[in-house]
Amino acid sequence: MRILICQVGKPLPSTPEVIVAMQPSLEEFETEVRAFLQAYPEKRARGGNDFLWGAGDDKVALFDEIEPKAELEHIAAVRQWRGSLADANLSWITGPLEFGGRDLPRRYQRLLDTMSRDYEVPDSAKLTVSMGMVAPTILAHGQQSAKEKYLRAIFAADLIGCQLFSEPGAGSDLAGVRTHAVQFGDSWRVTGQKVWTSGAHFSDIGLLLCRTADGPRHRNLTVFVIDMHAAGVDVRPLRQMTGGAAFNEVFLEDVVVSDADRLGSVHDGWRVALTTLLNERAAIGGAGMGGSGLLSSKRLLAMLRHFGVDQDPLIRQQFGRLMVGLRSAQASRYRAEAKIRAGKAPGPELSLSKLALAQNLQRLSDLVAQILGPKLAVDTDEWGAYSWSTFVLGVPGYRIGGGTDEILRNIIAERVLGLPRELTESAGGSV
């Protein structure tokens, strides 16, 4: 058995051979995870991964919109779960040893995820922005002190992060942000307004894109990590068309930020923001969907049979098209992941994944509407019927958030296919 001798604070081995030698084998890792899981949460009651019509909650929502009190309880449970993962050195499997990671390949993370599914562990979907977007940006661009201060804490969920990018006047044209920061010695003072901020109301830190000088738009932006509990930060819930409030408006007035929490160089924030956006599209387009089982074929098959439309030729066509869309997008992701494993960086191809997901959600929305008929519009107290209305009302948001369909098509055309940019006053082009 290989022994993991590397501990936090101890000198790191210098040669790759030594690091490889310290990695547990997948079997050893499995034993480690099993021991951890047996000690911590309860085994999941449900049998296997079969979907049983009528059993459990019939909620189907794209945006997590639980009641504020229940949400607080959920966040507390997530923090506790992540904390115990961190105590067991399992919170950041693929991260660098130096900042609390295990420096193991992605397949170890997948194994942990798969094994955890058999236990009653809280869903970490609310931490997608924090762990999937804020953390990679800090890792790529943060100063040493910021990496030490934030990364371990983010994966332990001692700190939860949100993304403060969009503004009322800067949506698709993100380089047009007007929130500005002015330097005073070792600190900066920030004033402005952000919008569409998922999870700001339970976040501890925010990844802020703001203007640090006038002049060419893409060259005078800077990114900071700000304290969401600091004086001058005002978070107000924003109610979206589904009726819930997963987003917020964030008002910033003279908020003090330390220069140590600046990511990347001054005025180089556009490059930093691109890291975040690339990770955002990967996170949204990824297979996860928060483990909600929304796109599960078993659920859909059970639904078709329950409502007696499984022999309807038109429904079968729509079902076939949806499954082809989902499975071929999944194959495309397998290919992109294999490319990354082979040492090639994720590129703008990830935009394809997000565009495909938006299309597939639209197809699913149309299919469930076809299946349910009037039961989509009127609550008949039937399990698994009207609950889809929240989903159907959420789909338009997926074509807008995380890069609109149109912006993504620009990116694909310009970055992947090399087509010429639109002629505009902006030199920066599409992100």
Partner 1 sequence: MTVSNQPMQSVDLIFSADQEEFGAGVRRLLDSHSKSADIRRVIETASGHDAELWRRLVAQTGVAEIGIAEQYGGAGASLTDVVVVCAEMGRSLACTPFFATTILAASALIAADDAAAQADLLPSLAAGEVTATFWPGAIGGMAASAASETVRAEAAGDGWQLSGTANFVIDGATAELLVVAASVDQSVALFVVDTRFPDVWATVRRQPRAVMDATRRVAGVDFGQTPGRLIGEVAFGAQYVGAAMNRVVTALAAEQAAGAERCLEQAVAYVKDRFQFGRPVGSFQAVKHRCADILLEVDAASAAAQYAAWTADNRVEEFPLAAAIAAEAATEAYLFASRECLHLHGGIGFTWEHDSHLYFRRARATAALFGDGSYYRELVAQRFGL
Among 67, 113, 254, 422, binds partner 1 (CB under 8 A): 422
* Least distance between partner 1 and beta carbon 403 (Å): 12
* Least distance between partner 1 and beta carbon 426 (Å): 14
Give just the sign of the alpha carbon dihedral 25, 347, 246, 62. Answer: negative
Using DSSP's 3-state secondary structure scheme, residue 195 falls into strand
Structure tokens at 372: 């349910």
Identify whether 280 is a catalytic site residue.
yes
Q: What is the CA radius of gyration of the chain?
A: 23
Nearer to partner 1 by Cβ, of 32 and 310: the residue is: 310
Among 55, 338, 378, 427, binds partner 1 (CB under 8 A): 338
* Least distance between partner 1 and beta carbon 420 (Å): 4
What are φ and ψ of residue 373, in 5° steps? Answer: 55, -135
Binding mask 273-302 for partner 1 (x = CB under 8 A): ------------------------xx--x-
CA dihedral of residues 343, 109, 398, 177 (deg, nearest 10): -70
Among 12, 20, 324, 377, binds partner 1 (CB under 8 A): 324
User: Distance between CA atoms of 146 and 139, rounded to whole angstroms?
Assistant: 9
Provide the residue type at 405 as one letter.
D
Other CB atoms within 10 Å distance of the CB of residue 328: 12
Q: DSSP alpha helices (H): ranges in 246-306? A: 269-285, 297-306
Among 22, 66, 245, 323, binds partner 1 (CB under 8 A): 323
Among 283, 355, 357, 392, binds partner 1 (CB under 8 A): 355
Pairing mode of beta strands 205-211, 161-164: parallel
304 near partner 1, rule: CB under 8 A: yes
Among 334, 373, 377, 383, binds partner 1 (CB under 8 A): 334
Please identify, among the stretches 2-10, 78-86, 195-203, 417-425, the one whose residues bind partner 1 according to the rule CB under 8 A.
417-425
189: β partners = 182, 256
- Cα 358 versus chain centre, distance: 15
Q: Minimal CA–CA distance to 91: which of 81, 262, 209?
A: 81
Binding mask 77-116 for partner 1 (x = CB under 8 A): ------------------------------x--x------
User: Distance between CA atoms of 195 and 236, rounded to whole angstroms?
Assistant: 10
Among 64, 103, 268, 349, binds partner 1 (CB under 8 A): 349
User: Distance between CA atoms of 430 and 414, rounded to whole angstroms?
Assistant: 8
List binders of partner 1 among 241-260 (CB under 8 A). Answer: none
Among 310, 396, 428, 429, binds partner 1 (CB under 8 A): 310
| Chain residues that interact with partner 1, rule: CB under 8 A | 107, 110, 297-298, 301, 304, 310-311, 313, 316-317, 319-321, 323-325, 327-329, 331-332, 334-335, 337-339, 341-342, 349, 352, 355-356, 359, 406, 408-410, 412-414, 416-423
